[in-house]
Structure 1
């Protein structure tokens, strides 16, 4: 499954912007995805997993249950193939949470995430970040 997902990501990333996706290639990827999941679930049907080693079984059932969501990046060019940007942004919040931020409610977490996203968007534009933030206040 790992090799198949890598192949799908390389296919999508290798497309030129605005280029259409080959429907036959997408069907082939989806068919291989389904075959791998069927094989995994058949193996777990033959030899059930124990209570201590349920990770593989749980992963296979999640991959089957959320199949359309996991493969959405193949069909929609607006969906990134990986979530590395979101992971990088969340890593900053998680590091601050462990160091100095005390989040006492979900509302304070929402405020922090909103302010971090506004700062990130302001940072991507040209100009002085301090002046932009002071203009907001």
Structure 2
């Protein structure tokens, strides 16, 4: 999300995207500074951040009105610009975008998920392709296991040894991402 907002700001010169970036970083800072015992921000903080998020969306819509008029002689509606598409996504997925402040188990970024997917693409690039769907499934299962161990700060080597001894690594509880 931050990458998309930065791109809109740099490529289209839209002020609302800078303000949205600042808000998301401010929320993330508030989450990091919350007491360890908390599992979410206070209801007052959540409502205030949501109000500000909505205001920024309204500003973005005012700067980039969403198109609803159909294109002559073509099906569907007129193609939106990248800033319009991002505003529409922010509106549609507001709950998901801001979930990290209401549930501290949800990470601020999806970098870990992107990193997990990247390994599949690297393997595919090196080998050219996977030979079967079963091969892809096995690769993903092993990479997922290793990723889970790393995310739970366990020893990868010990976890792999345990898997061969039929004593697989089992995460106990979710921990707070920072």
Fold conserved (TM > 0.5)?
A: yes
Q: 1:83 to 1:32 in 2, by over 3 A?
A: same
Q: 1:115 to 1:46 in 2, by over 3 A?
A: closer
* Normalised TM-score (structure 2): 0.62
Unaligned 5+ runs, structure 1: none
1:57 corresponds to which residue? 84
Residue pair 1:13, 1:81 contacting (<8 A) in 2 also:
no
1:102 matched to 2:129? The reply is yes
Q: What displacement does 1:76 show?
A: 1.0
* Normalised TM-score (structure 1): 0.77
Greater displacement, 123-132 / 60-69: 123-132
Aligned length: 134
Unaligned 5+ runs, structure 2: 1-19, 69-77, 167-178
Aligned partner of residue 78 in structure 1, secondary structure: coil
Q: Which structure dedicates a bigger proportion of its chain to helix?
A: 1
Q: What displacement does 1:65 show?
A: 0.5
Aligned partner of residue 113 in structure 1, secondary structure: helix
How far apart are the structure 1 equivalents of 2:89 and 2:134? 29
How far apart are the structure 2 equivalents of 1:112 and 1:68? 33
**Superposed structure 1 runs of 4+ greater than 6 Å apart:** none
1:89 matched to 2:116? The reply is yes
How far apart are the structure 2 equivalents of 1:69 and 1:32? 16
